[in-house]
Structure 1
Amino acid sequence: MERNDVPWRGYWPAAPTPYTADGRLDQDGLAEMISMYVDQGVHGVLINGTTGEWFSQTRTERRTVAEIAVATVAGRIPVVIGCTSYTPAETIDLAEEVKAIGADGALTTPPPYAHPSQAEIYAFYETVTTAVEIPWMAYNWPRGTAVDISVETASRLADLPNVVAIKDSTGDELKCMATVEAVADRVRAFGRFIHPRGMAFMLGVGGDGNIDGGGLGAPFAVPYYDAVFAGDLDAARGFGKQYEQLVSLLVNADYSSKFASPTSQLKAAMNILGQPGGEVRPPLLPMAEENRADLAHALGRAGLPPHQPTHKE
């Protein structure tokens, strides 16, 4: 398999997993949220990545979340399921499961907490991606794993038979571009392309899309990529400016968030907008209530006004 074997491109939300206030998995909320993403026109969806709080789910819950996502999407857009874990054996087990469920692909970071070397990172991916014949997305997430996949290692991963994509979330724009340049001829590359430099790089060198924690930017990012794909670069620049403003108001350069931890802020923002984000689950805590007004103001400045309940709600 290689990049042309999958139609993965454009704007994908990394979906959160809605929980109820008492910590239960909100299955109806999850299905409603996935349907919302499809209605927004997103080009794919990542389930149980970092934003999905996979680390707080039971093994059974991880399967349930994957089943609901695949069933709700029903083939309308690609669905990639996160299979990150602490050992190759468990990642393989998760990947076999999501393949049986009917997911379009599997994703994993290097094992968190373990601090593997570059040789160990490569050996991990070689083991898991050859064990399960499903399209794989390698996920470089130094903020969450405390290791950074080097450009050289990323290029080696791109040669593995079942690796078809790399998600680069380093926060280092130059390093991301170096990685994309090294791998884009062989695998799909997701990074930060919704800005003038990113668009120029994507069109001139390579790159396929953004995978964005939670999808708040969909009203701007979906038409941005649609315009880029249609060759309407003037329209794309306008949507890109709107997306950049949203990001600057909510996210710091290192991918931390302005008002709470990233997933807590995301779910608070979704609730303000009337979207089915649900609640976080421990060890995460809800955003402090005193930050709600500032977050709502930031969303409004970005062109996402707070939801106004009707009398029937």
Structure 2
Amino acid sequence: MNRHDVDWAGYWPAASTPYAADGSVDELALTALMELYVSQGVHGVLVNGSTGEWFSQSPDERRRVAEVTVAAVAGRTPVVVGVTATTAAEASDLARHAERAGADGVLATVPPYVHPSPAESLAFYAEVSSATALPFMVYNWPRGVSVDLAQTPGLMQALADLPQVAAIKDSTGDWNAMVATTQAVADQVRVFGSFSHRKGLAIMAGLGGDGAIDGGGVGAPYGVPFYEAAQAGDLDLARFWVDKYQAISGRLVAPDYSGVFASPIAQLKVAMHLLDQPAGRLRAPLIELTDPAAIAAIAAILREAELPVSADREASVIAERGSW
């Protein structure tokens, strides 16, 4: 399998998982979120990734999120399901369920906490990627697992050579390493990385690269047309849209993928609520962002980026969160 076996490219949200006030998965809100994404024209959706808070879900909940998502999207855009787990056996079991549910692909980091060596990482991916016939996306996420696959010479190439691997999501905080990964494997597998800025546009135009998987999708109104313009070769239009995108992302997320005002998922859900999107609650161990000054600052960033946040909506979100 290689890049030509999938059409994965462009702007994908890494979906959050909406939780109800009692902590349960809010399936109606999750369905509504998928409808929002489809209406925005996103080019694919990732669920049960880091932004989806998979780490606080039971295996049955993870399976249910996959099922609800696939049913809601109904083939209108690709759905890739995250199956990260501490063992290859558990990840493989989740992957087989995703295949039965009708997902278009699966994704995993290396096992969290384990700090596997390069050889152990390759063995893990060889086992999990071969568990199904689905295309597999390797996820390099050093912030979450304390292992940076991009730092080991030749490892990304070895991962791209695995039979079921069709894509790599490279979320290293080392931009030069991400560029090196792109140069090494973009002609073989799809590469999703830090391309949503003018430097990224230049790399895509010169070396390759396919898109970005963006936590939560708040930037979709600008990210979608950016990648469409980039793929069409209209660099002037692409620069216009990516500057608008950066007016949001560049002020909310640091280069190492940490959040400016709170943990990334906490501030994301505030932004989604300010935009009246079906975000739901967080689930422990994450803590809701309730500081009125931080919420007002996020609202100001969204307004300055020309996204629709009214003063009344801002006041409502601040008041609501004051009671949480």
Output the TM-score relative to the length of structure 2: 0.93
2:13 match: secondary structure: strand
The corresponding residue for 1:300 is 303
Does the 8 Å contact 1:137/1:163 carry over to 2?
yes
Aligned pair partner of 1:200 in 194, 199, 202: 202
Match of 2:69 in 1: 69
Deviation at 1:171, TM superposition (A): 1.7
The alpha carbon displacement at 1:204 in A equals 1.4
Instruction: Pick which of 19-28 and 45-54 moved more.
Output: 19-28
For the 8 Å contact 1:139–1:167, the answer to whether it is kept is yes
For structure 1, which segment, 298-307 or 106-115, has the greater mean C-alpha deviation from structure 2 after superposition? 298-307
User: Which segment is superposed worse, 273-282 or 290-299?
Assistant: 290-299
Q: C-alpha separation between the residues in 2 aligned to 1:267 and 1:151?
A: 37
Which residue does the alignment assign to 1:162? 164
Q: What amino acid does structure 2 have at the position aligned with 1:211? A: I
Is residue 275 from structure 1 mapped to residue 264 from structure 2 by the alignment? no
Within 1, Cα distance between the matches of 2:95 and 2:244? Answer: 37
Q: What is aligned with 2:32?
A: 32
2:108 matches 1:105:
no
Deviates more, 1:64-73 or 1:285-294: 285-294
Counterparts of residues 228-267 of structure 1 (less than 5 Å): 228-267=230-269
Measured in 1, the distance between the counterparts of 2:48 and 2:147 equals 20
Q: How do 1:39-58 residues align onto structure 2 when only pairs under 5 Å count?
A: 39-58=39-58
SS at match of 2:116: coil
Q: Residue 90 of structure 1: CA displacement?
A: 0.2
The equivalent of 2:318 in structure 1 is none
User: Is residue 2:174 matched to residue 1:172?
Assistant: yes
Which residue type is aligned with residue 302 of structure 1?
Answer: A
Mapped contact 1:195–1:240 kept (Cα < 8 A):
yes
CA distance in 1, matches of 2:88, 2:47: 19
One-letter amino acid of the structure 2 residue matched with residue 63 of structure 1? R
Kept in 2, the 8 Å contact 1:18–1:26? The answer is yes
Structure 2: distance between partners of 1:167 and 1:61: 24
* Amino acid of the structure 1 residue aligned with 2:187: D
Letter in 1 for 2:200: G
Q: Is 2:125 aligned against 1:89?
A: no
Across the aligned residues of Structure 1 and Structure 2, the Cα RMSD in angstroms comes to: 1.1
Q: Indicate the percent of aligned positions where both proteins have the same amino acid.
A: 55
User: 5+ unaligned residues in a row in structure 2: which ranges?
Assistant: 314-324
Q: Which amino acid aligns with 1:192?
A: S
- The offset of 1:151, in angstroms, is 4.6
> Alpha-carbon deviation of 1:300?
1.2
Q: Secondary structure at the match of 2:130?
A: helix
**Mapped partners of 2:153, 2:248: distance in 1:** 29
